[in-house]
Amino acid sequence: MKISGAKIVVETLIEQGCDTVFGYPGGQVINLFDELYIARDRINHILTAHEQGASHAADGYARATGKVGVVIATSGPGATNLVTGIATAFLDSVPMVAITGNVPCSLIGRDSFQEVDIVGVTMPITKHNFIVKDINELADTLRMAFKIAKSGRPGPVLVDIPKDVQVAQCEFTANAQPVIPYPLAFAPEDKLMQAAKLINSCERPYIYFGGGVISGKASEEIMALADKIDAPIGCSLMGLSAVPVKNPRFLGMQGMHGHYASSVAQDEADLVIALGARFSDRATGNKNRYAQNFSIIHIDIDGAELHKNIPADLAIKGDIRDAVDRLTALCEKKEHPEWSARIKKLRKEEAKRTESALRSAYEKNCENCAAQCDKSELPADHRLSPYDIVDIIAANAGDVTVVTDVGQHQMWTAQRYPFSKPRTFLTSGGLGTMGYGMGAAIGAAAATGRTSVLFTGDGSFGMNLNELATAVSQNTPLVVVIMNNGVLGMVRQWQTLFFDKHYSNTTLDRRTDFVKLAEAFGAKGARVFTKEELERAAKEAFSCGGTYVIDCAVDCDEFVLPMLPPGGSIDDIITEIK
């Protein structure tokens, strides 16, 4: 039977196992939205407040489940509003299919109303993209988009569909099954044997893993390897949640704001086994001073990552789960008592340093920033420490998806939250997109049915708080925790440390009442100044079943510590503000 291009899109989405899509209608996708309306019993469309929110929601849906997230937008501004969301997904290797409408083929290239070359715009930030000008190719192009998005190292794919192609008709038969990804590359045995040889002869192994372990479902395998070779485990921001924080071998995130113990342990190791990670500059610090004292084994599904940022002594391309599993079998069971003792000592040191740094930072800022953030209105004990906020929320949260925006609150959450299972921590690591959180939290909740907790700052939240409207209309179980310090804290921190306290455009001086704001959107809210108040608000928030905003008062000079200054190395680590 002949059906329209718009119907083909919807039927193909359903065929590909898509239960929920996110988007925003417009002139060049009216036909598509008409078909979504007709098929509303079979596929759920969530309308956001802004296309950017929809793109982050599709991203959150994908990260929380591993399935391909789908976002739909109209041509022109609808399409360009997706760009930040697509780039966010690209940098963090998130499987996503973005569908955009475009002006009819006959109007393309004439600067028609709401026309933009979105394929050209998104070429460098997608795994691949398509414009479909022939209805006969529409279904297979969409299938290919799904296939590319989920194959190998996942990523976003955009399909641009001119209006006339949505209107045209052609024969369509749905496939019985979603497309299967391209076969994965498997690590060559001889390389794994070389790796095992290096591991067997090393004395201070350290495992550094990244987001590839989550998308490659290799959590168990990583822990088994660490147990067998007696190695501590650290990870990049993207790796967080793959290994439970309570795993005794887990030292936490390394890098610019990583844990002291993991950063130092890595530096003192004689062999670093990098798994599904890409040696981002935020994870390594100064490249020229990185890996002076250790060898590197690097395993990744993406051959282009090998030797890209840091040259490896042994680079292996292959599926991470299979590779680590086979590698573990090849390695000898080892114990490194001296190394383990050293790691223990580092952890103790870290605990001490954290305590004292937090204390001194707090005392320090009380005296010097009265002018900046008008502290006089509140006594000093009416400020919550960021770690207390994370601890109290975590204690009340239960089984949730933790989402963050970008900035200080993101690092505090990454450092402190007791993640226990993969895909429960969603954050924009590569692109560092402020405003990522609201959309992602809504997408994650829609995908899993679990409550989302969004840790955000007053800066980041301001970027996409319009999505509160979406959360309320969807009755999303969402707890928004604003670490409200009245400043753009991360930039301010740099200004304090490296720019002579020239607080250029980082003091917000806003008068936003987030509780009233939440209420205006139809959500609930509370402003809290003390641990007791936060405890009460958290209990109420997690039991309300809907969307709740907790506005937490935080001092404007709380620092994210430790910190490896940009371009610095482990020798330059800042663990306290003097």
Partner 1 sequence: MDQYVIGVLVSNISGVLSRVSGMFTRRGFNIDSLTVGETESSGFSRITIAFHGDEDLKERILQQLQKLHDVREVEVLNKNDTVIRELLLIKVRNKADVRQDIMTAVEIFRSKIVDYSTASLTIELTGETSKIDAFIELVKPYGIMEMCRTGLVAIERGENCLKTVK
Binding residues vs partner 1 (CB under 8 A): 119-120, 123-124, 127-128, 131, 148, 302-304, 306-308, 311
User: How far apart are CB 228 and partner 1 at their closest, in Å?
Assistant: 31
Of 120 and 398, which has the nearer Cβ to partner 1? 120
Is 113 an annotated catalytic residue? Answer: yes
Among residues 2, 113, 344, 501, the one annotated as catalytic is: 113
Given a contact cutoff of 8 angstroms between Cβ atoms, the answer to whether 240 and 425 are in contact is: yes
Q: How far apart are CA 109 and CA 115, in angstroms?
A: 8
What six digits make up the tokens of 532?
A: 């007791």
β-pairing, 169-171 vs 128-131, is: unpaired
Of 129 and 470, which has the nearer Cβ to partner 1? 129
* Cα-based distances in Å from 222 to 3, 5, 233, 235, 320: 49, 45, 9, 11, 9
Among residues 163, 191, 317, 524, the one annotated as catalytic is: 163
User: How far apart are CB 317 and partner 1 at their closest, in Å?
Assistant: 9
User: How far apart are CB 279 and partner 1 at their closest, in Å?
Assistant: 14
User: How far apart are CB 295 and partner 1 at their closest, in Å?
Assistant: 18
Question: Which helix (H) or strand (E) segment is 59 a member of?
Answer: helix 51-65
Given a contact cutoff of 8 angstroms between Cβ atoms, the answer to whether 564 and 285 are in contact is: yes
Question: Which helix (H) or strand (E) segment is 330 a member of?
Answer: helix 320-330
User: How far apart are CB 117 and partner 1 at their closest, in Å?
Assistant: 10
Q: How far apart are CA 491 and CA 45, in angstroms?
A: 37
Nearest to residue 114, comparing CAs of 17, 51, 28, 200? Answer: 28
User: How far apart are CB 123 and partner 1 at their closest, in Å?
Assistant: 6
Of 225 and 310, which has the nearer Cβ to partner 1? 310
User: How far apart are CB 140 and partner 1 at their closest, in Å?
Assistant: 14
Given a contact cutoff of 8 angstroms between Cβ atoms, the answer to whether 208 and 232 are in contact is: no
Rg (CA), the chain: 24
Among residues 114, 133, 217, 529, the one annotated as catalytic is: 114
User: How far apart are CB 306 and partner 1 at their closest, in Å?
Assistant: 8
Q: How far apart are CA 226 and CA 242, in angstroms?
A: 14
Of 137 and 220, which has the nearer Cβ to partner 1? 137
Of 310 and 541, which has the nearer Cβ to partner 1? 310
| 304 DSSP assignment | G
Given a contact cutoff of 8 angstroms between Cβ atoms, the answer to whether 186 and 152 are in contact is: no
Is 150 an annotated catalytic residue? Answer: no
Is 349 an annotated catalytic residue? Answer: no
User: How far apart are CB 122 and partner 1 at their closest, in Å?
Assistant: 11
What six digits make up the tokens of 71?
A: 């976002």
What six digits make up the tokens of 467?
A: 């999505």
Q: SS3 breakdown of the chain: % helix, strand, coil, rounded to 5?
A: 45, 15, 35
Does residue 230 come out as left (phi exceeding 0), alpha (psi in the -120 to 50 range) or beta?
left
Of 94 and 233, which has the nearer Cβ to partner 1? 94
Report the first-to-last Cα separation within the chain, whole angstroms: 74
Of 56 and 147, which has the nearer Cβ to partner 1? 147
User: How far apart are CB 124 and partner 1 at their closest, in Å?
Assistant: 5
Among residues 11, 15, 51, 350, the one annotated as catalytic is: 51
Is 163 an annotated catalytic residue? Answer: yes
Give the rounded distance of the alpha carbon of 183 from its chain centre.
26
**DSSP string computed for 227-270:** HHHT--EEE-GGGTTSS-TTSTTEEEE-STT--HHHHHHHHH-S
Is 294 an annotated catalytic residue? Answer: no
* Cα-based distances in Å from 99 to 39, 117, 365, 441: 17, 14, 48, 21
Of 307 and 502, which has the nearer Cβ to partner 1? 307
Of 153 and 321, which has the nearer Cβ to partner 1? 153
Q: How many residues make up the chain in this entry?
A: 578
What six digits make up the tokens of 531?
A: 């641990």
Nearest to residue 92, comparing CAs of 314, 449, 404, 460? Answer: 404
Among residues 238, 490, 524, 563, the one annotated as catalytic is: 490
Looking at residue 308, its amino acid is K
Nearest to residue 165, comparing CAs of 7, 296, 284, 276? Answer: 7
Of 119 and 472, which has the nearer Cβ to partner 1? 119
Instruction: Give catalytic residue positions.
Output: 51, 113-114, 163, 490
